[in-house]
Amino acid sequence: MSQLKIYNTLAREKQVFTPIEPGKAGMYVCGMTIYDYCHIGHARMMMAFDVIYRWLKVSGYQVTYVRNITDIEDKIIKRAVENGESIFSLTSRFEKYMDEDTTALGILPPDVVPHATAYVPQMLSIIAQLEQKGLAYKSDDGDVNYAVRNFPGYGKLSGKSLDDLRAGERVDVNTGKRDPLDFVLWKASKESEPDEVKWESTWGSGRPGWHIECSAMSCATLGEHFDIHGGGADLQFPHHENEIAQSEGAFGHPMANYWVHNGFVRVVDEKTNVAEKMSKSLNNFFTIRDVLKLYDAEVIRFFILRGHYRSPLNYGAANLDDAKAALTRLYTALAGVDSGADALEVDWNEAHAIRFREAMDDDFNTPIAIAVLFDLVTELNKSKSVAHARQFKALAAVLGLLERAPQEFLQAGGEEGGLDEAAIVAAITRRSEAKKARNFAESDTIRAELLAAGIVLEDKPDGTTNWRRA
């Protein structure tokens, strides 16, 4: 049997996964800063760790998956003040929207969802330990900063030397710092800020810096040392580098054994066919709910899973259209065989399942696993075997795919200006009557009109038994 290997950013190689506690796996993933709708890049990150979570469970591990909510941060405060609403009102609303989007995409909820504002005492405790060890200091402006050059291991995750590094993201220029690389742990309160973002501390009224939040939440939920820490590639530096400095500086031992990062989403320019990184600063990002207006949620899921989680993912209409066509092929194959309505289990001794497991054990290689599904569907199209159909559907479900009745997917859509089901059925009835009357010209016309509207009919000797949207 193959062994699960994970690419560890810290080691810069694939390593066999050996959990700290046999049979158990603890995974912390940096989640959303909730002040706006989630975009497709967020979907890619949450999908990557959804697959890892699913595969760890399939592999027999008792998993504790923690994905936090950042509900206190500069951008949140700014947006709430602009809106004239409370921080809680803003963050709770967008957390609800996030949950709606992830549910639509079939992303499983984490086991634990800590909110930063609930862990301020733990943050203050870690900052106090860092101060005692000479790794934190209070500057003249009241902020408490981390003394980066006092932590010998700084830069080991990003692979950068101290001389090459610059002050981290989300950190204001601060003349109170002893070194430009130092980052804030505790921000002194400003009079202009709402009272709800002010906490009392040994160092005066203030609020936590972004990086200390995750050190505190991961430690509180998984312990000082856990198995997997994940997030987007953009978090590798400075956020995750700073987390290591904080947690290892405070506790004196490794924070996480495996550091996992998913790749960026790049947006393809439809005119030039050139892909560039998606970002709000370039104004080329797409929210999940906007994309859901254009494509079925499972098409989006399938599109994301066709790329390896560490590779860049090119987002564009042509890529999504291709994903839709490919997923339609899989569902069409299932539509021809009754696989039953009962729960299905994978036969892991079957040849396709063995290859599927080998792919997923090789750093969660979903593109190869999906290729195995297409090989199996080729067999299914030939054999029309119920056993093949059940195995195919069970394997796909491991990735959160093909869990609907085939016709539900094939006939989905049309709400945005297309023909609704009643109109389609009425047209099929008129066509059947025309054929019975041997008015084949009328029959062909109706078929052509439906095809022009994106409706494909499936004729059999006993009549039109099924239809699907192209």
Annotated binding site for Zn(2+): 30, 214, 239, 243
- DSSP codes of every residue in 205-273: SEEE-HHHHHHHHHHHHH-SSEEEEEEEGGGIIIIIHHHHHHHHHHHSS-SEEEEEEEPPEEEEPTTT-
Give the tokens for residue 392.
Answer: 């195919």
Q: If residue 464 lies in a helix (H) or strand (E), which one and from where to where? A: strand 463-469
- Residue identified by tokens 């005692």 is 132
DSSP 157-171: TTT--TTT--PPTT-
CB proximity list for 212: less than 8 A, separation 6 or greater: 123, 126, 127, 185, 186, 246
Q: Which residues are annotated as a binding site?
A: 30, 214, 239, 243, 280
Q: How far apart are CA 467 and CA 457, in angstroms?
A: 4
In 62-208 the beta strands, taken as DSSP E runs, fall at 62-70, 136-138, 144-146, 183-188, 206-208
Tell me how far the alpha carbon of residue 454 is from its chain's centroid: 31
Burial of 388 (0-12, 13-18, 19+ CB in 10 A): buried
Q: Is there a contact between 213 and 70 (Cβ–Cβ < 8 Å)?
A: yes
Residue the block writes with tokens 């009224």: 205
**Kindly report the CA angle at 10 between 6 and 11, in degrees rounded to 5?**
70
Tokens matching residue 249: 């500086």
CB under 8 Å to 105, separation ≥6 — which residues?
43, 46, 47, 288, 297, 300, 301
CB 147 within 8 A of CB 137: yes
Cα 405 from Cα 341, distance rounded (Å): 9
CA 381 to each of CA 146, 216, 309, 387: distance values in angstroms, whole numbers, following the listed order = 61, 53, 30, 12
Annotated binding-site ranges for ATP: 280
Residues 248-259 as b or e (16 or more Cβ within 10 Å = b): bbbbeeebbbbb
**How far apart, in whole angstroms, are the C-alpha atoms of residue 311 and residue 462?**
48
- Say whether 376 sits in a helix, a strand or coil: helix
Asked whether 320 and 303 are in contact (CB, 8 A), the reply is yes
Label the pairing between strands 226-232 and 24-33.
Answer: parallel
